[in-house]
Chain A
Amino acid sequence: MDNWVKKIRKRTNLVAGTIVFLIIVFVAVFAPYLAPTHPWDDADLMISELPPSGEYLFGTDSKGRDILSRVIYGSRISLSVGVISQLINSVIGIVFGLTAGYFGRLWDDIVVAVANIMLSIPSLIFALAVMALLGPGLINVFIALGLTNWAYTCRITRSQVLGTKNQNYVKAAKAMGFGRCRVMFLHILPNIFGPILVMASLGMADAILMEASLSFLGLGTQPPVPSWGGMLAGAREQLFTAPWLSIFPGLAIFITVLGLNLLGDGLRDLLDPHMSETK
């Protein structure tokens, strides 16, 4: 136990990433208590486009809403997109990767082929195509991003299974007559969970970035729900008159994604120093 504490302390990445992540979770959970005003009900055109001041720390937007409150509430959207869509990604990836690696044969060939095709479609382009099918909206963003990046998890799970399925503990479990599902999910999965966790952390960062992009393009979360990407959608037109509109939502995305990337990097260094830097 002491050894672990020492190991973690040396990892600045991991510590910094964890702290940022916990802060975002805290802000998202306690948003109603932290935000000075309601993120969209308190629109007041009399106070539109006020620069940052003591009263409105981040200024106000073109509809007179407090940007600080909207940034605080925006954390809920980003965090939920990160968690939910990455959860979908992980479940799909784990199920396909585990079964493909474990059963092999035709099923393996099919899964590998589909995963390779998925990997040959740029993620944002695929997500846009799914959004084109489903139409805009937060729930659709969950689905679109949940279906987008599973191939990474699938590939890494499969390669891990191939490396472990002939080890003695798996053979022992089989010899004891345990069913396939039990061997796969209770014996193999816990032993290969490290790399999957790393992928999940990096995947969350990716999902948050993609939701922001979709909302920026007007195809993701719809107004008046305050999504960080959506808040920047109209900011370009006000760059001359109200540049602060462009700063804070983007900064929030940047810090959140940076935190998750650091967390992923740190986890990777901690769990497996030999794992390659690339996805």
Chain B
Amino acid sequence: MISYVLRRLIQFVPTIFGVTLIVFFLLNVLPGNAAMMAGGKNRIPPAAQKLMIKKWGLDQPVYARYFKYIKGLCTADLGTSFISGERVTDVLAPRLWPTFKLAVIALAIACVTGIPLGFYSALRQGTAMDTVTMIGAVSGVSMPQFWLGLLLMYFFSVYLKILPTVGYGNGDPKFIILPAITLGVGYMALLARTTRAAVVETLSQDYIRTARSKGISDLLINRRHVLRNTLTIILTSAGLQFGSLLGGTVVVETLFSWPGLGTMMVNSIYYRDTPITQGCVMIIIVGFLVINLLVDLSYALIDPRIKYQ
């Protein structure tokens, strides 16, 4: 068990390293670009540009700046904003909680509805309910989030007038309902599809047929054999697809004017504030990687076989 956890933790390091490499070079490959473009449409005079280049160390070669960035990362220093001059960590810290809250609630909504729907559909393969559920699921996957959000906003806020349209409302739970549902629906549909496929696959296994032939009740088979054996598959793909939910936060937050990392990232791209963009990208990716790490570690609890591999 411990060796499995350790091995998985050690694998985590090169991935993080690779991600920083790709993200950093992607955002910093054009030298001086940042100074020229900083401030978006308001061009900065050449003399000031030179000063900025000097101040931010943009005259140094990319690899030197990369090592500096990595050194900073080790002490939780993500650099300073090009626009406001504030430390990136200070700018992003208050944005973490709203995004985290939104993502977790959306995740909870998706898991609580998507997994049971997938199960239900698989156990009633070929029935009308199965077809309806799967049509619903493929529709959910195909729905652009901002459109779904607009429709929900129209129905609940403009037509029924029972929920607020946009904003954070200082943490008032009423404000999170629509964004969380908007963000959760696509992921719920993905989960329902994955779960159904995994359960259908498991149901065709020999050990299920053996259990049936022994006269074990369907309920017990579903709980003991099907659920346990599909849970790892469901968790794995849930973890891998969690990225789509995290990416969705950018769109949903922008639509609902939610003060999280996503809106910050979009704004920083408008203003060409590279250190902020980079900080948002890194935090979102690390969040995604940590979730997948947790998923991998949870196997050891769900599936005892993994401990011995």
Cβ contacts under 8 Å, B125 to chain A: none
Binds A, one of B92-100, B134-142, B168-176, B222-230: B134-142
Q: Digit string of B263-306 for contact with A (CB within 8 Å is 1, else 0)? A: 00110011010100100010011001100100000000000000
Interface size on B, residues (CB 8 A): 58
Q: Digit string of A235-268 for contact with B (CB within 8 Å is 1, else 0)? A: 1100110010011011101100110011001000
Cβ contacts under 8 Å, A271 to chain B: none
The answer on a CB contact under 8 Å between B26 and A212 is no
With contacts A205-B142, A219-B266 taken as known, whether A232 is within 8 angstroms of B150 at the C-beta atoms is: yes
The answer on a CB contact under 8 Å between A120 and B251 is no
How far apart sit A133 and B272, CA to CA, in the bound complex (Å)?
9
The answer on a CB contact under 8 Å between A254 and B147 is yes
Cβ contacts under 8 Å, A114 to chain B: 18
The answer on a CB contact under 8 Å between B269 and A219 is yes
A106 close to chain B: CB less than 8 A? no
Chain A interface main SS type:
helix
With CB as the reference atom, state the residue of chain B lying closest to A233.
B146
B248 close to chain A: CB less than 8 A? yes
The answer on a CB contact under 8 Å between B150 and A122 is no
The answer on a CB contact under 8 Å between A216 and B146 is yes
Cβ contacts under 8 Å, B198 to chain A: 277
A197 to chain B, nearest CB (A): 18
Binds A, one of B43-51, B62-70, B237-245: B237-245
The answer on a CB contact under 8 Å between B269 and A120 is no
Interface size on A, residues (CB 8 A): 49
B259 close to chain A: CB less than 8 A? no
A29 to chain B, nearest CB (A): 23
A123 close to chain B: CB less than 8 A? yes
B27 close to chain A: CB less than 8 A? yes
The answer on a CB contact under 8 Å between A277 and B240 is no
Chain B interface main SS type:
helix
The answer on a CB contact under 8 Å between B150 and A120 is no
Cβ contacts under 8 Å, B151 to chain A: 246-247, 250
The answer on a CB contact under 8 Å between A253 and B147 is yes
With contacts A246-B154, A257-B144, A277-B197 taken as known, whether A124 is within 8 angstroms of B251 at the C-beta atoms is: yes
The answer on a CB contact under 8 Å between A216 and B285 is no
- Which of the residues A125, A130, A218, A232 comes within 8 Å of B247, measured between beta carbons? A125
The answer on a CB contact under 8 Å between A265 and B138 is yes
Q: Digit string of A105-116 for contact with B (CB within 8 Å is 1, else 0)? A: 000000001101
With contacts A132-B27, A232-B147, A277-B193 taken as known, whether A121 is within 8 angstroms of B158 at the C-beta atoms is: no
A131 close to chain B: CB less than 8 A? yes
A129 close to chain B: CB less than 8 A? yes
With CB as the reference atom, state the residue of chain A lying closest to B245.
A122
The answer on a CB contact under 8 Å between B277 and A253 is no
With CB as the reference atom, state the residue of chain B lying closest to A250.
B147
The answer on a CB contact under 8 Å between A213 and B146 is yes
A119 close to chain B: CB less than 8 A? yes
How far apart sit A278 and B235, CA to CA, in the bound complex (Å)?
12
How far apart sit A246 and B142, CA to CA, in the bound complex (Å)?
17
Q: Digit string of B17-58 for contact with A (CB within 8 Å is 1, else 0)? A: 011001100110110000000000000000000000000000
Q: Top 5 nearest A-B pairs by Cβ distance? A: A277-B197, A250-B147, A124-B247, A122-B243, A258-B142
Besides A130-B26, A209-B142, A254-B143, 7 new A-B residue pairs in contact (Cβ under 8 A), listed by A number: A125-B243, A128-B269, A246-B147, A254-B139, A254-B142, A257-B143, A276-B201
- Chain A contact residues, CB within 8 Å of chain B: 113-114, 116-125, 128-133, 205, 209, 212-213, 216-219, 229, 232, 235-236, 239-240, 243, 246-247, 249-251, 253-254, 257-258, 261-262, 265, 276-279
